[in-house]
Structure 1
């Protein structure tokens, strides 16, 4: 496919709030996420027979919301004549993923459609796009210190989601408490970016990882053999599994004096460093 495409859709990095955008939690309590899109894309073409083909910068199962981007691209092409709004495209993409049997929230489809830095709130079936403008200095600082690395371990987010939500519906106190903590931390993380409070950002990102451990330790477990030694020697300030975790990508926030060391250790471990930049545009149609 090369650079020829009918639609191009970015993938996202979820900083905080993932899991709280999923029903039934967002119906019971409301959810909130902070994420941003990067310059890695799903590109799609449609032929005269109406068949859609895809080209991926990042594989499905990476934890970067690739399946959500696929559905956004598909809806944009197959329903182009309907002149859907961006919100309608995102909602239709979400419904398509649910109908395919993959339990998920709405953050991936909305991030892929709108692009840039986002703060979304979820109330049942409704999505509210919150005013959100991180400080330029904070955005630059995150870009300089945040490594995105792919473990090479593929995951199936639907299976992980089913495992967590079956416990939630059974009234598991640890799962419910972990989700509450994630939503509370998301507000702090959003504030840290808007005011460029870097220590608060570090604390918030660590808080998210800790809360995810409360929900299910298997989400973080595949990353720890590589990341834990770097935390212990203070080379890494904070980190989190991206998406549903249990493989795929991790976001790793490096100490300013140890960025080169962390990159070297990550590469030696066999993980793939993903060279990235911010992508401020969502869906692009030709």
Structure 2
């Protein structure tokens, strides 16, 4: 009998800790990330016809190069569609990570776990082991975060690979500034957990900004596309900002000091060609359905 397996998974925004999930770092140190899944999706559909022929197709409502973990989400959706029977979200996430590693990706594991689980996560990385703790803030906090954290697509494709390679080369060569920056980035993840658990919106904004300053220690080029636009707003209209991926382009998150500042920040973003992204928290990860065809 013909059947269609459809899998939808969310992409994520990285609130704090990204970089410390990369195996190069966490094979010798513990990494931590706080991220959350949003209502932007990758969908994979596998159709098996009556003659057991297979076709697979993808769709995405997220721009390529956005820095929101789209490639990882694509592989989580794909592998859940073709091999997801009886597998846990952890197993699917690890399969997706290993699949990307075979293709030469040297990134970390946070993206796969975000797509597999959804919601707010505090992730801990130690060697190849990933521990996920789901954070469960109140609906009131979530609504406030959705109103006050603005997402903008800068229109600059996320092409920071050479910058990333430079950071890890410096790390391998014993540059002491890199481990110190990564230690601070991990600490920002712990600070972000405290802000979310205490439901402190200003604290989230301040932690975003402190994370950005920590990433500057790796290379100021990661924040350059955003700094020149947002620095004049800091301290008056916004608590801070952060690249929602590794940086040097893609999507940026901007935390308002007050909802009344929204129009001023939107105007500056529009003037610079940034596109506002409406978003909401997505509490579900892998969403898998099977339809049988007579």
Same fold, judged at TM 0.5 (above)? yes
Q: Look up the match of 2:15.
A: 15
Matched pairs, number: 281
Contact 2:145 2:201 (8 Å CA) reproduced? no
2:141 is aligned with 1:138: yes
Give the SS at the match of 1:24.
Answer: helix
In the superposition, relative to structure 1, how do residues 155 and 147 fare at CA in structure 2: closer, same or farther (>3 Å)?
Answer: same
Q: Look up the match of 1:188.
A: 191
In structure 2, what is the Cα distance between the partners aligned to 1:45 and 1:159? 33
In the superposition, relative to structure 1, how do residues 31 and 40 fare at CA in structure 2: closer, same or farther (>3 Å)?
Answer: same
2:54 is aligned with 1:50: yes
Q: Deviations over 1:28-64 (max 9, x none)?
A: 1110111111100001112344342211110221011
Give the SS at the match of 2:239.
Answer: strand
Contact 1:137 1:196 (8 Å CA) reproduced? no
Q: Which runs of 5+ in 2 are unaligned?
A: 290-294
In structure 1, what is the Cα distance between the partners aligned to 2:174 and 2:185? 17
In the superposition, relative to structure 1, how do residues 160 and 125 fare at CA in structure 2: closer, same or farther (>3 Å)?
Answer: same
Q: Look up the match of 1:147.
A: 150
In structure 1, what is the Cα distance between the partners aligned to 2:247 and 2:40? 19
Q: Look up the match of 1:242.
A: 244
1:1-286 paired onto structure 2 within 5 Å: 6-48=6-48, 49-81=53-85, 83-156=86-159, 158-231=161-234, 234-256=236-258, 257-286=260-289
Which of the two has higher C-alpha Rg?
2
Q: Which is further off, 211-220 or 46-55? A: 46-55
Give me the TM-score of the superposition, normalised by structure 2.
Answer: 0.91
In structure 2, what is the Cα distance between the partners aligned to 1:202 and 1:97? 32
Give me the TM-score of the superposition, normalised by structure 1.
Answer: 0.93
In structure 1, what is the Cα distance between the partners aligned to 2:210 and 2:77? 33
Kindly state the Cα deviation for residue 279 of structure 1 after the two structures are TM-superposed. Answer: 0.6
CA-based RMSD: 1.7
Give the SS at the match of 1:154.
Answer: coil
Give the SS at the match of 2:229.
Answer: helix
Q: Which is further off, 114-123 or 220-229? A: 220-229
Contact 2:120 2:136 (8 Å CA) reproduced? yes
Q: Deviations over 1:159-203 (max 9, x none)?
A: 443222111111112211111001111111101111123343232
Kindly state the Cα deviation for residue 157 of structure 1 after the two structures are TM-superposed. Answer: 5.1
In structure 2, what is the Cα distance between the partners aligned to 1:38 and 1:200? 20
In structure 1, what is the Cα distance between the partners aligned to 2:105 and 2:164? 9
In structure 2, what is the Cα distance between the partners aligned to 1:249 and 1:5? 31
In the superposition, relative to structure 1, how do residues 237 and 95 fare at CA in structure 2: closer, same or farther (>3 Å)?
Answer: same
